[in-house]
Amino acid sequence: GAVVSQHPSRVICKSGTSVKIECRSLDFQATTMFWYRQFPKQSLMLMATSNEGSKATYEQGVEKDKFLINHASLTLSTLTVTSAHPEDSSFYICSAPWVNTEAFFGQGTRLTVV
């Protein structure tokens, strides 16, 4: 079946630095990918929709200058958390939809900002 690979699975960074998270569709092309954020014991909250060849669409309340999204190819989307702060610590998950069926999810990235 279709697989989405997300990397890294865990990252610790210092406040003020930037972190890049990659999301790859391994055996299919994804013109759209979704980025979610999940706080402990809570649901997945959609942050933005990544579109290949065009600008990402951000949900209300998500700072587009802090969470930079680039969809460089039909198999790769990246989320860069810029000037990270401790409040950005969270679990980030990407997913790629499969036409007329379910979405496929990456393994997630646990970001800790110290």
Partner 1 sequence: AQTVTQSQPEMSVQEAETVTLSCTYDTSESDYYLFWYKQPPSRQMILVIRQEAYKQQNATENRFSVNFQKAAKSFSLKISDSQLGDAAMYFCAYRQNNAGNMLTFGGGTRLMVKP
Q: What is the DSSP letter of 59?
A: P
In the set 15, 18, 42, 73, which binds partner 1 (CB under 8 A)?
A: 42
With CB under 8 A as the contact rule, which of the stretches 19-27, 32-40, 63-71, 72-80 interacts with partner 1? Answer: 32-40
With CB under 8 A as the contact rule, which of the stretches 16-24, 44-52, 65-73, 80-88 interacts with partner 1? Answer: 44-52
With CB under 8 A as the contact rule, which of the stretches 11-19, 66-74, 80-88, 105-113 interacts with partner 1? Answer: 105-113
Write the DSSP assignment of 71-112 as a string of letters. Answer: EEETTEEEEEE-S--GGG-EEEEEEEE-TTS-EEE---EEEE
For residue 12, the SS3 value is strand
The answer to whether 110 and 12 are in contact (CB under 8 A) is no
Q: How many helices (H) and strands (E) does the chain have?
A: 0, 11
Restricted to residues 53-92, the positions that interact with partner 1 (CB under 8 A) are: 91
Of 57 and 70, nearer to partner 1 (C-beta) is 57
**Binding residues vs partner 1 (CB under 8 A):** 32, 34, 38, 41-44, 46, 49, 91, 93, 95, 97, 99-103, 105, 107-108
